[in-house]
A = this chain, B = another copy of it.
């Protein structure tokens, strides 16, 4: 897992965790359901942010909209309350309704009190558009696919053309799911930040690989295609950050995207979502105050820099783990590896 050659340029002052995946944050699990049938090349990726009952023991969370040309759901309540109370699903744009309903059913099954003696639940699902490869109009993602992704969740998971990443295109090459982790030291403690990217954006000519503007060379003699994509960045940590600090983390994701060459095009929905599983927010609090131990703001720089680094590497890793694929309307979407090979 991770890149075949770790990124060396610029921001790289952090070790990775043992798997170099978002699941290096203890308790986080990721599962895929990949769908290839009748022209549909899509899927669902599920991120379980922590063990236990998420609705009753919510996670501090935050989000940031880098560019709001997108259809992701559940972000408004995260912004208001600073909590996450379901798993996170990733899929294609038109599957957001299906993902919403799947997470509703998932939560109702586990929480008989929802909608009966307590309020409802806030499903969170994030999307990119996979129409360059998949027949998105076929509406091929079902609730069963979402449940399969949730059930497949594990500490170890594949990157590349899997789950929601199946039909993604990034920098006019094959995109998909990428992930990595970073270790941060604070006094005598050690924390982990993990990132998972659903990478589906960018113009080929802009692609920068570990500081190398390889896209300029790759784009020679190729017709330019407009950016119709998006990118989703999910950040996980076991560091005790407040929801406001997590918001600040999310805002650094744009800098990580920029390190891969992206300029956040008009049509690119770019969203960052962050959570910590270091502590929980009870749905039914005990009488009295809640007690928290939080990192001081002065500790944030390491987290910010690690976020930028992790976002850059996750996007690159998504590309490195993906394979050449036919495009829906003819032609081929080259993998980064195949494209690079063609240069030499």
Task: Please measure, in the bound complex, the distance between the C-alpha atom of A10 and the C-alpha atom of B290, giving whole angstroms.
Answer: 32
Residues of B within 8 A of A215 (CB): 10
Interface residues on A, range: 35 or more
| Residue contact A120 to B131, C-beta cutoff 8 Å | yes
Docked pose: A228 CA to B120 CA in angstroms: 10
Interface of A, secondary structure class, is mixed
Which listed residue (B251, B288, B301) contacts A226, Cβ 8 A? B301
A101 to B281, CA, bound (A): 32
Among the listed B80, B101, B226, which residue makes an inter-chain contact with A67, where contact means beta carbons less than 8 Å apart?
B80
Q: Does A53 contact B (CB under 8 A)?
A: no
| Shortest beta-carbon contacts, A-B, top 10 | A68-B80, A97-B100, A97-B101, A258-B258, A255-B258, A285-B296, A289-B293, A97-B97, A115-B136, A266-B300
Stretch at the interface among A17-25, A153-161, A172-180, A238-246: A238-246
- What are 9 of the A-B contact pairs (CB < 8 Å)? A10-B206, A10-B213, A10-B261, A11-B261, A68-B81, A71-B76, A73-B100, A97-B98, A208-B211
Collect the chain B residues with CB atoms within 8 Å of residue A10's CB: 206, 208, 213, 215-216, 261
Q: Do the beta carbons of A71 and B122 come within 8 Å of each other?
A: yes
Whether B97 contacts A104 by the Cβ 8 Å rule is yes
Q: A13's closest neighbor in chain B, by CB?
A: B205
Provide the A98-120 mask, 1 if CB < 8 A to any CB of B, else 0: 11111011001000001110011
What's the least CB distance linking A290 to chain B, in Å?
A: 5
Beyond A81-B297, A104-B94, A104-B139, whether A187 also contacts B292 by CB under 8 A is no
**A49 CB-CB contact with B under 8 Å:** no
B123, B213, B228, B251: the one contacting A119 at CB < 8 Å is: B228
- Write the chain B residue with the least CB distance to A137: B115
Closest residue of chain B to A227, judged by CB? B301
Q: Of all chain B residues, which has the CB nearest A76?
A: B68
Whether the pair A258, B292 counts as a contact (CB closer than 8 A) is no
Q: Give the distance in Å from the alpha carbon of A104 to the alpha carbon of B68 in the complex.
A: 18
- The distance in angstroms between the C-alpha atoms of A137 and B261, with both chains bound, is 41
A294 within 8 A of B: yes
Q: A265, B301: Cβ atoms under 8 Å?
A: yes
Q: Which of A68, A105, A257, A285 has the most CB of B within 10 A?
A: A68
Contact A251 B264, CB 8 Å, known A68-B81, A131-B116: yes
For A69, the chain B residues whose CB sits under 8 A away are: 77, 80-81
